[in-house]
Every structure is written in structure tokens, then in C-alpha cells.
Amino acid sequence: MNKDVIIACDFNSKEETLNFLDHFKEEKPYVKIGMELFYAVGPEIIYAIKQRGHRIFLDLKLHDIPNTVKKAMAVLSSLDIDMCNLHAAGTIAMMEAAMEGLTRSDGSRPMLIAVTQLTSTSQERMEQDLMIQAPMQEVVMHYAENAKKAGLDGVVCSPLEASAVKKVCGCQFLTVTPGVRFADGEKGDQIRVTTPAKARELGSDYIVVGRPITQAADPVCAYQRCIKEFLG
């Protein structure tokens, strides 16, 4: 299994994104493109980044009726991305349909992972707004099991949930974890943070790191530090 650091390119223009990636001369980091950049620029941003030799995680978190998600996934699979995602809350039927849509005629497909409960959702909001009364940990594990049943490759979760997910779904089931900070860095708006070294200990396969790299005075140095701490 290939563990890696994924840089969250949370910019809103092609120019800013490519200027940022210009810092990297030797290595070609795995990058995450989110809704902001994809909706601002469109599929063109995928072609531009792919042409430079980066792997891409397209983080659009799809959630709709199975047929719509299946068709949207078929479009995404033609973009030559490496990983994409959806909300496990869309049900097993929606996740199965997504897998079908994503699989190309030659049988290949990007990796597909599921968001369980967003880390911005508290136990209280889940109970009151979503009317889900079970403990958060149980809900996350149940959604992860559903993703596994539907044949997905893994989940996006907090690094703090990574080892429990592995226990329930097996060690091959991927955990992609945001909320990573250097021990001596700013937390920003993230609350439950861990360092790259701790995320490794907890069993994360991919850490998603944004501002500690994108806002660093020397982004290449910050990226290399992440790689060193995470991969050892």
C-alpha cells in the first residue's frame, strides 16, 4: 500500500494553483482539488495539473440519487483523476451505483472513498439536526462498513478514527485523513489535529495537508518535512 502526503490546493484560480505548484521542481506531490477550485476553473484544472505529472484526488463529495451519481461518476472517470469521493450517507445503493459509473470500459477506475460524518459535525448537531442518536464513533464505523460493503476503497476520516476503521474494515481499507498540523505550527480552524508522525502511528494511509504547506514561507521545505515525519 502506498502511503503518501496529499496537498490540499485550496485556491480559487488556475494561475494561483499553478504558481504554487511551480515551487516543486524535483518532486510531483499528490494534490487535492476541492469544490472551490473545480467550480471556479472547471475540468481544465485537472488537465493542467495532470499534464505536469501530479496525481489528483478530486474532492467533490457527491451525494444524490443513485442514477445521478452513477452518471456524474462516469464523467469524472474520463478526467483521468486518481481518487474521488462521495458521502456514505447517500446509502449503499448510491455507493454501488457510483462504483459502476466510475469503472471504465477496460475495468480500470480511480479510487473511490466515502466521507463518513464530516469532522465539522458534532455529536450534538448530529442528534438534533440529523436526528441520528447513536454515538459518533458508532456512526462513523457503520458508514465505513457500508462503504466497504459497496466495494469502495476506503473513507475520509479523522486520524483519531483511523485505527478503529482498520479494525472494523481490515487493514487494506484506506483511511484518508485531514486535520494534520506540525507540532510547532498554527491550528487555524481545525480542532482535533494530529502531527504527521502521530497520523502515521494511528494508521492513516494518506494525510491531507493544506495550509501548513500552502501558506508556508517555503512550501517545498514544509512538504518535505511532512513526508519525512509521515513516511519516516
Active site residues: 61
* Contact status: 222 vs ligand C5P (CB under 6 A): no
Applying CB under 6 A, among 77, 119, 146, 175 the residue interacting with ligand C5P is 119
Size of the site for ligand C5P (CB under 6 A): 15
Of 200, 222, 180, 219, nearest in space to 20 by CA: 219
* Nearest residue (beta carbon) to ligand C5P: 210
Provide CB contacts within 8 A for 42, sequence distance 6+.
Answer: none
Residues in 32-51 that interact with ligand C5P by CB under 6 A:
34
Cell triple for 41? 476553473
* Contact status: 10 vs ligand C5P (CB under 6 A): yes
Cell triple for 223? 512538504
CB closer to ligand C5P out of 74 and 227: 227
The sign of the torsion formed by the CA atoms of 41, 55, 11, 90 equals positive
Cell triple for 133? 442518536
* Contact status: 118 vs ligand C5P (CB under 6 A): yes
CB closer to ligand C5P out of 70 and 202: 202
* Contact status: 83 vs ligand C5P (CB under 6 A): no
CB closer to ligand C5P out of 73 and 157: 157
Applying CB under 6 A, among 156, 162, 165, 169 the residue interacting with ligand C5P is 156
Q: How many of the other CB atoms lie within 10 Å of CB of 142? A: 15
Span near ligand C5P by CB under 6 A; candidates 18-26, 46-54, 79-87, 209-217: 209-217
* Contact status: 219 vs ligand C5P (CB under 6 A): no
For the CB of residue 10, give the shortest distance to ligand C5P in the complex, in Å: 5
* Contact status: 73 vs ligand C5P (CB under 6 A): no
Report yes or no: 21 and 54 within 8 Å, Cβ to Cβ.
yes
Q: What is the DSSP letter of 196?
A: H
Helix (H) or strand (E) holding 58: strand 56-62
The sign of the torsion formed by the CA atoms of 198, 200, 206, 211 equals positive
Report yes or no: 21 and 31 within 8 Å, Cβ to Cβ.
yes
Binding interface with ligand C5P (CB under 6 A): 8, 10, 34, 118-119, 156, 178-179, 188, 190, 208-212
